[in-house]
Structures are given as C-alpha cells and as structure tokens.
Structure 1
Amino acid sequence: MLDRRLNAYRPDLADQVLQGQVEAERFVVPQPAMIAAPVVPLRPRPDLTAGIDTELLIGEAVGVLERKDGFAWVKAASDGYVGYLPESALAPSQQPTHVVCVPRTFVYSGADLKFPMRRALSMGSRLSIVGEIETRGMLYLLLSNGDAVIARHLRALSDAPLGDYVHVAARFIETPYLWGGKSAFGIDCSGLVQLSMAMVGEAAPRDSDMQAEKLGIVIERDALRRGDLVFWKGHVAIMEDERTLLHANGHTMSVARETLEGAIERIGWLYGQPTGYRRPIAET
C-alpha cells in the first residue's frame, strides 16, 4: 500500500507517475500552479471541517490533479505531500525571486510603513519582486501590483542560503503550536524541522515518522550534539546543544526550550522513551 500522503491515487483518478503501480479509472499529469494565499491548510479530503495534514505558503509550487466543487487536489512540489485545498487559493505558476527570511513580515499597500497592511507573511513565503524604492531611508521591494515589503525581510532566491538551521529554529521560540502547522503563525514539531532546514537550503520530509526513517543518519544518544534530532513516537525535537532541545510541543502549546532529560522524563509516562536519534546534516 502506497503512502497516501505522498502518492496521489483514488479509484477514479491517479497521478500519471503511478500508472502500473495502482489501479484507477484515469491517470493525469499534474498541472502546475502556485499558492496565492499567505498560509493554506492541506487536508486529506475536500472538506473544510477535516483536520489539516500540513500547510502550504504563498509562492509554493504545486501540481494540480483535479479541480472540482471549489476544491483542488494537489501535490506539493517541495515535499511531495498530497491533499485538498480551496481552488481559490491557487494562481497560475510564477517564478518567485525572493523568500521571506524573518519569522513574520507585512505586505504594505505601498512603499511606506505608514500605509495600510495588506497581509502578514511567514518565513518561507516566496514572492516575485519587480523593483525597489526607498522611502525615508527604508528600502522596500515591490510586487507587480504596487504592494511593498521591507527589503531586509527578504532574501533573493539566487543567493546561496547560509546559516545554521538550529539558529533559524530558535527564532520561532513562543510561536504557537498548531497540529499540521508549517508557518510562523502556528507550527508543529516536524514543521519546525522542515521549515528551519529549508531556510538553509536543506530538504526534509514533512512528518516526524518520515524524518525518523529517512533524514540524515542514525546516531547513538551519547553522540548527541547541536543540530541532532531526537524522536519519540509521533514527535521530534532539535538539540540546541548537548543538553538542551527545541521543539514545538503540545505541553507548552508553543515552540519552547527544554532539557533533554526533562523532556524524556515528562514525555515518558505517556508516550514512552525516545525511539531514535538522527544527525540530519553531516556538517552540523
């Protein structure tokens, strides 16, 4: 049985790449599109009352397998996740030029911080910039509709991503915990790992079980250092140093710091001991 999170197939319709692996009445080639809203939940079925599996951010590329009754069935280009979202959240494909590199920023109705705010964006959001303008010493980057973003809150995608993903993760401290969340407005444990690593140019699977199976290399507990991952059943945490970890968690309902020993003791009575340890980036 193929993982439905990463493989788009139903009895009536399936992704063309799965032909020969699954049975379906019809196979289609996903059509390119782009996320057009700041944060869009991706759900396992076309129902707004269904819980969310993950989220997609503005500027992310998707392949659309079906548009029906106001919903689109899509596959995310970044991590292959499959699900349903409102068709209104899609726009024609466009090549982003910049990514938001601070936890949160605003899009203004023009190049002036006193102008009305159009929307708030999370780190990881992608934008197509067409120009720049300076107002009272502040540089703004412009969108095609005249809206503007503080220039230093964006990084050109053409620039090589640099930095330490643990430092990125620490910038999310006190961000609310949200099951399935993948933004600076609400994030879950594996979303924190994936988004933080993406900001330094490293790919990670979306869910903690995927990360525990495929991300990096297995290590022993006594080898833990900064950047290593600790897994429990259904949970993952990032080591900030040999004794302290960072994680989005349902205990504090936020991204928080905790000692490794304290986390093991607190989590153990309900979810058991850690199931494994991995080093996601060899040079960390």
Structure 2
Amino acid sequence: MTPDRRLHAYRPDIADAALKGRVESELFVTGTPAQVAVPVIGLRPQPDLAVGIDTELLLGEAVTIFERRDGWCWVKALSDGYVGYLPEKTLTEGQAEPTHVVWTQRSPLYPVPELRKPHVAVLSMGSRVRVVGEAEARGNHYVVLDDGTALYAKHVRPIGAEAHGDYITIAAMFLETPYLWGGRSGLGIDCSGLVQLAMAMVGRAAPRDADMQASSLGDPIDRAELKRGDLVFWKGHVAIMEDAETIIHANGHTMTVARENFAAAVERIGWLYEQPTGYRRPVR
C-alpha cells in the first residue's frame, strides 16, 4: 500500500531517511530541526501560496526540514507527523526549547509588559513560547519572552501542566470562532482541527484529519452509547458530543464553531453527507 503523503515525507527525488526500504527515491535525508517563528502559518501540499492549506502550524511548534528550495521548506511537523511546505522565512533554527504554551483562545503579544502598548501579534491557544522572566505593570502580571516581548501571565502555562477541565470544555472556548478550511488556531479552525487542538491542550494526541480520527482515535461505539466527549463522524466531518443531545463542531453551515442539537444536525447534514459513518470514544 502506498504510504499516505500527508504523513510520510517522500517524493521521487527526495525522502525521509526513516522511509528507506519502504519507498523509492533518489535521495534519502535525515532532515534538520527547526521551529515555527510566526504566530500561525498554513502548511501546503505544494510550494505555492495560491494552493489551499492542509493544516496550520503555530508559533514554537517543531518541524523537521527535509529540503529548502526557492524560498520554501519541505517539512514534517513533529506534533502530528503532517508533511507539507512552509515559506522558509517562517522558520527558525537553533532556538532553545519552548517552556510555556498559550492556554486562552487568543492572547495579544506586547512589545513590553504593558497592556496599553500596541500589541505586535496575536497568539493562538497552543502556541509555544520561551519564558525567561516575569514583570508587573499597573497591577498586571506578565511573563517576558526570550525576545523581550510579553504575554499576560494568566494566558500561559508551563508545557506539560494539566489543563483545568476536560477537552470538551476547551473545545467550547472556541464557540463563535470562524470556520476555516485547514484552520487550527483561535483565529480560524476546522472540524478536525478543533478536536485535535482541544485534545492537545489536555495532553491527548489526536490525528489531524477527520478520516484519520475516524479510523484510529479511541474505540468504536454504537450511537446508543453516545455521551459527553464522544465523537460523531460523517464523511469528511467530525463533531464532539457535549452531552447526549448536543454537539460542538466547526462547520461550514454557520461558518463558525457552533453548538447544535445532535438529532437536528443529523437531519440537516444528511442531504449533503448522508448519515453518520461512525462513532468513537477517545481513550481517556
């Protein structure tokens, strides 16, 4: 079977050395480590800004670079193994490991620890930063990053710290966030991106795309067993059960992350995607 190009870095001219013996290629390379250096960037199947994105990577996330050419890097994301192209200028090498992760849906990044200063960027939940100090200003507590910029301290937590609540609670924090095909941030997100990012915030790994989640995330269950935290799949779509009667999902109907009655959603979605294709319970 041909390896999935989304998760395996191989082309006829170059491939990941880890795939030697499994695929044919002229050259096998081990790659070099790097980090995303911008708040959010789309990962594309081709080195062309006019091509739609497959997914997104966030500030501080780690990648392996297999090729640099014409201002693009062909990479593999360490978090979920997704392969694609990023503009070379969006990556940095040799950086120290991040220490903290953003825990709010979005957080303004300030040039100095002072909320009245114009912010220089907006970071999404899941962004990884390196904290080197702390500061107080006007009664507010900030963390100072290695480049001198600052975030409100309550918006970050040490990497590895347990989340308050479950992944469904975190998913609900994204309600009204715009739907974005391939999106995986607090600025715009798609259905499987919502599942993956919410689970990541409580230390639970999930594949990136709905078809991957439908075949490998947790255990299959029957519709009659559905409860809070279970997943419902349609062809090309996934929703999270908030309770036995309600789902949360990023969807193209409202173009947002929305809360919807499950039975009504099944009826509404049916004309386009037919009936749900399966139900799964993520391993707790």
Q: TM-score band, normalised by the shorter chain? A: over 0.9
Partners of 1:171 and 1:252 lie apart in 2 by 17
Q: Which amino acid aligns with 1:259?
A: N
Match of residue 246 from structure 1: 248
Partners of 1:142 and 1:32 lie apart in 2 by 25
SS in structure 1 opposite 2:89? helix
Indicate the larger mover: 25-34 or 136-145.
136-145
Match of residue 30 from structure 1: 31
Q: Following superposition of structure 1 onto structure 2, how do residues 58-137 of structure 1 map, counting pairs within 5 Å?
A: 58-92=59-93, 93-137=95-139
Q: Normalising to structure 2: TM-score of the pair?
A: 0.98
Task: Tell me the CA shift for residue 281 of structure 1.
Answer: 3.0
Query: Where in structure 2 are there 5+ consecutive unaligned residues?
Result: none
Partners of 2:148 and 2:86 lie apart in 1 by 28
Contact 2:63–2:75 (CA<8 Å) still a contact in 1? yes
Q: Following superposition of structure 1 onto structure 2, how do residues 88-237 of structure 1 map, counting pairs within 5 Å?
A: 88-92=89-93, 93-237=95-239
SS in structure 2 opposite 1:278? strand
Match of residue 19 from structure 1: 20
Q: Deviations along 1:211-256, whole A, 9 cap, x unmatched?
A: 0000000000000000000000000000000000000000000000
Contact 2:160–2:203 (CA<8 Å) still a contact in 1? no
Partners of 2:99 and 2:121 lie apart in 1 by 19
Query: Where in structure 1 are there 5+ consecutive unaligned residues?
Result: none
User: Relative to structure 1, is the Cα distance of residues 167 and 158 closer, same or farther in structure 2, using a 3 angstrom cutoff?
Assistant: closer
Q: Deviations along 1:151-172, whole A, 9 cap, x unmatched?
A: 0000111423442000000000
Partners of 1:37 and 1:188 lie apart in 2 by 20
Partners of 1:161 and 1:33 lie apart in 2 by 27
Q: 2:283 aligns with which of 274, 281, 284?
A: 281
Task: Tell me the CA shift for residue 262 of structure 1.
Answer: 0.5
Partners of 2:97 and 2:69 lie apart in 1 by 26
Number of aligned pairs? 282
Q: Deviations along 1:27-73, whole A, 9 cap, x unmatched?
A: 00021000000001000010110010000000000000011100000
Contact 1:162–1:201 (CA<8 Å) still a contact in 2? no
SS in structure 1 opposite 2:120? strand
Q: Which amino acid aligns with 1:63?
A: T
List, as ranges, runs of 4+ consecutive aligned residues in structure 1 with deviation greater than 3 Å.
none
Match of residue 42 from structure 1: 43
Match of residue 11 from structure 2: 10
Partners of 1:203 and 1:144 lie apart in 2 by 28
